[in-house]
Amino acid sequence: MSKHAICSPSGAKGWINCSGWEGSTGSNKYSRHGTAGHELAARCLITGHNAAEELGATITVEGEKITVDQDMIDAVQKYVNMVRELGGNLYVEQKLAIEKITGEPGAEGTSDAVVLFDDEICIADLKMGMGISVYAEENEQLQIYALAALEEFSIVQDFKRARLIIVQPRIHNISEWSLPIEDLKAFGVKVKEAAAKKLSGKGELNPSEDACRWCSRKATCPALATSIANTVGADFDDLSISSPPLKVEGSPEDLARKMNAVGMIEDFCKAIRAEVEAQLLKGNAIPGYKLVRGKQGNRQWASEEEAEAALKKMRLKQEDMYSFRVLSPTAIEKFMKDTPKRWESLQPLITRKEGAISVASEDDRRPAVDVSEVGAGFDNLDKELV
């Protein structure tokens, strides 16, 4: 992707839905490690090698040397295997012009993998993140890549469908969606209209959880503040420490409306905290607030080797110097990849806690919890306590 692309494919979910959306220009250790994972994947697909052959190698991203470890290898290889199994004509890290799609002069995007079949364009995308699950269905970024690939390759083939695939190996998420070329072109019309509003600077602000999540302006966005105030039924100017607690009440429909905004409100609050901290770190005064240091971290040896040598001179016993513990099932599994029968024999010894119950939207792909079973569990507990 072009560094200066205002209407970038990666930020499409934001600027298509809100003309005021702005992405972050900085990077962090997670994004740099993600970039390293993408580079490793590209090397494997281009050379035909497997990721394990790069174990211990370093990939430099923005001056940081990132070591290829087993975790990165496992994640990348899952993606590489999937792309190889597709067949077709593969184009790796394919630069695609998106100027005709967004109207932004010179704008480009880079698709992780474009795979061409007789009548189908396939866009495969690697996501190295472990936080939020990303799905292919109606994914704006991948649809823009598909439109750009259609523009690039339609002169040699007559494509009927586009297939979008997202591989998020570190959370075991593989998502696939296909659509007719006619529907893809209809989406392209929507993109061009949204991009024109964004580029003109005259579009409207439209706060939403999806649009605001990665927006760098949410801490100072007046439309977001107004939307949240309207949702919770309070004016921010009227809130103070002495104000009574806000009451969350109403009909199920009213609670649902407020629940729909919870994620956006939480992101807004986090952005406010981050902006205040950033201003204070710059030396700018924020009335009523200051920077302080938190609790000191746990004590640790500056050099374990030197500490070990010193303790040995004191003739301490091994059990007084060292802590021995059986490795976790996850760690043991990595050692037993080549001996599946031995790993299988350990399964009866492994236990796992049920996931905590939490609220999710109806479009969440996990099955709903049967509350009658949950209630029965509490009933049994009550009987035991009597």
- Which residues lie closer than 8 Å to 133 by C-beta, 6 or more apart? 168, 171, 173, 365
Where is mean pLDDT largest: 170-174, 220-224, 376-380? 170-174
Q: What is the pLDDT of residue 352?
A: 87
Euclidean distance between CA atoms 256 and 275, whole angstroms: 30
Q: What is the pLDDT of residue 235?
A: 53
pLDDT band at 107 (very low <50, low <70, confident <90, very high): very high
The helix (H) or strand (E) run that includes residue 122 is strand 120-126
Q: What is the pLDDT of residue 380?
A: 46
Q: What is the pLDDT of residue 375?
A: 55
Q: What share of the chain is helix, strand, coil (3-state, %, to 5)?
A: 50, 15, 40
Q: Give CA separation, 271 vs 30, 213, 233, 265, 283, in Å.
A: 18, 10, 21, 10, 19
pLDDT band at 381 (very low <50, low <70, confident <90, very high): very low
pLDDT band at 374 (very low <50, low <70, confident <90, very high): low
Q: What is the pLDDT of residue 43?
A: 96
Report phi then psi at 348, rounded to 5: -65, -20
In this structure, what token pair is assigned to residue 90? Answer: 């593969």
Q: What residue ranges do the domains of the chain occupy?
A: 9-200
Q: What is the pLDDT of residue 4?
A: 62
Q: Give CA separation, 323 vs 302, 310, 326, in Å.
A: 18, 17, 10
**Cβ atoms of residues 17 and 206 within 8 Å:** yes
pLDDT band at 35 (very low <50, low <70, confident <90, very high): very high
pLDDT band at 114 (very low <50, low <70, confident <90, very high): very high
| Mean pLDDT across the chain | 86
- Over the stretch 209-257, which tens digit does the pLDDT of each residue have? 778 888 888 888 888 888 887 776 655 555 444 444 445 556 787 778 7
Of 159, 146, 70, nearest to 111 by C-alpha is: 146
**Which of 35-39, 59-63, 286-290, 294-298 is predicted with the least confidence, judged by mean pLDDT?**
294-298
Residue matched to tokens 């500490």: 307
Residue matched to tokens 């959880």: 209
Q: What is the pLDDT of residue 359?
A: 78
- Direct distance between the N- and C-terminal alpha carbons of the chain, in angstroms, rounded to an integer: 65
CATH number of 9-200: 3.90.320
Of 65, 54, 118, nearest to 88 by C-alpha is: 118
- Over the stretch 184-208, which tens digit does the pLDDT of each residue have? 999 999 999 999 999 998 888 888 8
- Over the stretch 55-104, which tens digit does the pLDDT of each residue have? 999 999 999 999 999 999 999 999 999 999 999 999 999 999 999 999 99
Q: What is the pLDDT of residue 236?
A: 53
Q: What is the pLDDT of residue 211?
A: 80
- Over the stretch 354-369, which tens digit does the pLDDT of each residue have? 888 887 777 778 888 8
Where is mean pLDDT largest: 2-11, 80-89, 278-287? 80-89
Euclidean distance between CA atoms 139 and 196, whole angstroms: 20
pLDDT band at 338 (very low <50, low <70, confident <90, very high): confident
DSSP string, 159-216: --EEEEEEEEGGGTEEEEEEEEHHHHHHHHHHHHHHHHHHHHT-PPP---HHHHTT-T
CB burial of residue 332 (10 Å; 0-12, 13-18, 19+): middle
- Cβ neighbours around 152 below 10 Å, total: 17
